[in-house]
Structure 1
Amino acid sequence: MCKDMEIYPISRVCKSLRSKELNLKYYCPFEKQMKAICKTLENNNFIQELNLQDNWLSVESCSYLANVLELNDTLRTLKMKECRIGPEGMVALSEALGSSSIRDLDLSFNSLGNDGLKEAIFALTDNMNLVKLNLSHNGFTEQAAVYLNEILSDAYCLEVIDLSWNNFNTPAGMKKLCHGLVENKTINWISLAWNGIASEDVVIHFLRYLRKSSVLKFIDLSNNLLKDDPMTIFMNGVSESNSLVHVKIGNNAFSPSKAFTWAQLLAKPRDKPLKVLDMENMVVEKKFLTLLQKIKSLGNEVKYGTVLADYELYGPCVPKVLFGRCKYLAMKPKKKKKRVDFGHFVLSLPEKPITTDEFQAMLAARKLNHLLDFDLITALQNQYIMKKTQKVNCSQLISDYMVLYPETQPEPPRKKKEKKGGKGKKNKKKTLTLEEPVHEEAIPSAINVQDISVSADKIETTKQNNEDLQLTEISMQKELSAREFKSTEAVFNKQNSDSDAIKKSWVEDNEILPENNEEKALEASEVFILDVSRDSTN
């Protein structure tokens, strides 16, 4: 056959011809290859499952497949997920499906839409072998529910149907769908997940179906938009069901308290068959864990997500946010002189309420009105404004601030600046006069004649020329040396012999006799101030 059609034989097909499954998933055969495969399957008595997932079958390829369904009585499972046949491909397959031996049919992700489902009515109602049908991800809406009503009412062998990822979320559409489910006496597994079901008007139609159905064992309403009130209606229908064993309601919008109410259905001995409750990813309360032990002791099962802790959540502390922002902005300037401690401002506020104008005036006095933005000041005032008087409650503001920042101290008193003295008084030297007592520690043990200098800071000078001034200073130095000698003679007597030698040499050098010193001695009040410096010379 491959030689006649001028194609290469497919090894996967050749190896599977005598097995129960032919898996062509993701193979994407050409039309010639698809024709050859279908020709081979028309008379094959071994293969029971044909997997064509994700092969993008054309209308012509669907017609080749229809011939297989008409002639082959061995096929039981046909998987056509993501083949994207559309309404046109469904037209080519419809008649053949109605008389085929297929029991498990997967038509998900085929973009059938409402028109494609309309073309499949004949195939799905006349097939007396079809048990499992997957119609998920086909974009069905309210109109498709009308066609499903007709299909489900006449499908006497269908047991499992998957309608997830469609749009059966209107009251009229759900009414039609549930009517067909009530008429059907064989369906025991149904999925309506990911349909956007949210309102009570939609869920209420399940009550009649759940009460009347005697074969339904599994129902999936997970990943919808069901809140507490719609979930309460659905829970009432589940509690009255005489056949339900497994309920899946996870990933909905009901509260932890409602999840606890659901779990109570399985915590008590009941004559109902419900055994499994799947609340995947749902949050439950901490007391739910105690209830879970009772459920397990009865042989039942509950699936849940996370446990909510028993602590309370509070919003942000508004005063802390405002104070923290004020403190930051007040200390933000780069220059230290421009920074302001906001705590000093708070503690400077009076205990009595003040008007907003007074509050802003106090801010301006500390130059905080330039550092804090207008919205922040307004928010701070509004936080502590008194409704009756429309004044700022300063005492409450101070109290809240001290609770948050208890280490805040009042502003220390400012030091008074000392007046600066005139020029010439900065480096005033300490002098020693004869009126003060002379301490031995203040006088060196040995004094060199050349180390003595006379300070002429307090000598009254006249307006003579420089030459007369120099001569006067020289004569005064000799006279002052004689006077100083007598005042220090008592000290020198206590020194050693080296000190006596120094005294003798000093007298000889200056050519001053001791007896002359007595005659020229002055009283203590007339002695001039001396400044002894080792670096100065006579």
Structure 2
Amino acid sequence: MSSMKLSKLEQMTTSTESSYEECNYLESSKNIGQHENEDNLNQISNGDMCLGYLPLSSSSVFRHPYYSYPGVVNPGIVEALLQPEPRIIYSDDGQELYLALCKKMGLSPISIFYKKLLEEHVNLKYYGVSPMSFLPIAISLKNNKYVKTLDLTDNWISTDGCFHLGDMLIENITLQELNLSGCRIGPVGARQLFAGLQINRSLRKIDLTKNCLEDVGVTSLAKAIVKGSDITDINLCYNELTSQSLLTLVEAFETYNKLTHLDLSWNSFLSPNAIFSLCAKLSENKELQELNLSWTAISGLRVGKAIKNLLTNPNIKSLNLSNNKLSSVEIKHIAKGLEDNKGLKVLDISNNPLTPKDAFILLICLKDRKVKVQKLFLDNVFVTIEFLVLRQEILSLKYRQNAIITWGGLITKFVPTVGDMREIVLKRADAICSKSKKKVVDIVLIILEMFKANKEPIDVKQFTRTLRINGIYMDEGLLDELCNAFTGPPGTGKTIDLVNLVDYLKRLWPDRQLPPTPPIKIDKPTENVKKNRKTK
């Protein structure tokens, strides 16, 4: 029996194709021949041990004194080679997923972002997020059910970061507000960000201030609006936009015109036709509540008509037209639009080149109970006392008790005291003659000499010629004013009345007189001459 058992063991050790079942069989037969094996091993005297007995040993059944190591336990090689890697399921909040991604990418986790994943607002304003960190941020927000507002103000986002954020917006169903102010994504980043925006159904507000979008970036946004994006609040402030962007948005509003807030400030819209088209389309929007067109350099009659057309929309609540070039031409149409509008609450028209009359025209509209404006901002617009009196009267009305009306400064009615033009002209002429570099001449004495020779009204040309002969050169404007101040009698043409002129000169400078002329000497006749006369 032992020889048969040894033959079987030799076959098992020499054969390379032994099956797993045969090994189990041998292992089960250990207990049967345990005592026989002990007897055979005790009979070995030379210290050698047959290798055939080794496979029979097991830590759980039998351990030979010369074989002191336990049996090798499977470390998981079979599972690693033959079975798929078990899938890790992360929670919907994204916290564990965020940490795992940061560890895999070798990034330092943003602790505040990790904590805020369980709250509604995530604020990473001015945080300086690295470009590589936007991948784990975006992936952890895909299935998040808590975060509703994500603020990334002034974190410069690369094109790759815009791609990941756009991919996140496709799957996220919770995020309602995205603030990218100052992120400078540019036109290329805008195309990546807005690629799947039409699929998102939760995002309602997006702030794109200072992102250098230009007209190309607005085109990408307009395409998303046309395809069905549900965004209602858009801020495109400070993006180097031109009138072409307005026309692009007008085309998009042909399909989707449900914006509630639109900010286009700090851009340059020089085309009045584009402004007119935009206002015409927004006047049809029954959801619009606020429009900001400040710092856009708009002006002209066409713009005034456009704003009047916009005010036909009864749902608009706030209109900002500050820091533009609006003047009296546009104010007339705006005032007329206010009379027809029944919903506008805030009108900001500060820092425009308005006159006190323009401010008074806008203020007088508030006396009408139908006009609902409660805040009228006219900062840096100068007004008169009549404006302040009317303002106080309006604020005393019951329906204007909580109204706010601002103004820039007060212009009082100042009546200038105009001096005697005759004195002004003569003093000017005297100053020119007394400070002449060529020859100092006293014009008063020359005029007195002219009057002494001829007291009749003198022609202006002759008067000018006489002055030049005496070395006095006056410009035509001063001569005209002198002629107007001392005009000759009617019917004498363009002349100067020397009588009035000399009379005023004597009263103005009484100390200036012609030197006395010496009397004529008459020789007295001698006695001989007298005798001759008598004899004659």
TM-score normalised according to structure 1 size = 0.64
TM-fit CA distance, 1:127: 5.9
- 1:63-121, Cα deviation, whole Å (9 max, x unpaired): 12213323444433222223332322221011333333322211123232333222112
Q: Identify the residue that residue 238 of structure 2 maps to in structure 1.
A: 137
Identify which range, 293-302 or 17-26, moves more after superposition. Answer: 17-26
Would you say 1:353 and 2:450 are equivalent positions? no
Contact 1:136 1:165 in 2 (8 A): yes
Would you say 1:114 and 2:215 are equivalent positions? yes
Would you say 1:38 and 2:138 are equivalent positions? yes
Matches within 5 A, 1:195-214: 195-211=296-312, 213-214=313-314
Q: Identify the residue that residue 260 of structure 2 maps to in structure 1.
A: 159
Q: 1:228 to 1:378 in 2, by over 3 A?
A: closer
CA distance in 1, matches of 2:433, 2:106: 88
Would you say 1:280 and 2:392 are equivalent positions? no
Q: 1:362 to 1:214 in 2, by over 3 A?
A: closer
Would you say 1:191 and 2:292 are equivalent positions? yes
Contact 1:219 1:246 in 2 (8 A): yes
Q: Identify the residue that residue 236 of structure 1 maps to in structure 2.
A: 336
TM-fit CA distance, 1:411: 3.2
- 1:324-373, Cα deviation, whole Å (9 max, x unpaired): 454445444899xx7555555555552543345654566468x653xxxx
- 1:27-63, Cα deviation, whole Å (9 max, x unpaired): 4443223334434444555543333333443222211
Unaligned runs of 5+ in 2: 1-100, 519-536
Aligned-pair Cα RMSD in Å: 3.7
Matches within 5 A, 1:471-482: none
Q: 1:346 to 1:44 in 2, by over 3 A?
A: farther
CA distance in 2, matches of 1:316, 1:113: 59
Q: Identify the residue that residue 99 of structure 1 maps to in structure 2.
A: 199
Q: Give the aligned residue type for 1:304.
A: W
Larger radius of gyration: 1
Q: Identify the residue that residue 79 of structure 1 maps to in structure 2.
A: 179
Q: How many residue pairs are counted as aligned between the two chains?
A: 404
Q: 1:328 to 1:59 in 2, by over 3 A?
A: same
Would you say 1:382 and 2:484 are equivalent positions? no
Matches within 5 A, 1:26-425: 26-42=126-142, 44-100=144-200, 101-125=202-226, 129-155=230-256, 157-168=258-269, 170-211=271-312, 213-268=313-368, 270-298=369-397, 299-300=399-400, 301=403, 302-312=405-415, 323-332=426-435, 342-345=443-446, 350=451, 352-356=456-460, 359=463, 363=467, 369=472, 374=473, 376-385=474-483, 389-395=493-499, 397=501, 406=508, 408-411=510-513, 413=515
Contact 2:331 2:362 in 1 (8 A): no
Contact 1:82 1:110 in 2 (8 A): yes
Q: 1:24 to 1:127 in 2, by over 3 A?
A: farther
Percent of aligned pairs sharing the same letter = 28
CA distance in 2, matches of 1:41, 1:394: 97
- Which one scores higher on RCO, CA 8 angstroms, separation ≥ 6? 1
Secondary structure class of the residue paired with 1:266? helix
- 1:230-262, Cα deviation, whole Å (9 max, x unpaired): 321222122111222222223333432232122
CA distance in 1, matches of 2:152, 2:170: 18
CA distance in 2, matches of 1:391, 1:271: 64
Unaligned runs of 5+ in 1: 417-538
Q: 1:412 to 1:294 in 2, by over 3 A?
A: same
Secondary structure class of the residue paired with 2:197? helix
Q: 1:11 to 1:331 in 2, by over 3 A?
A: farther
TM-fit CA distance, 1:144: 2.8
Contact 2:458 2:495 in 1 (8 A): yes
CA distance in 1, matches of 2:217, 2:172: 24
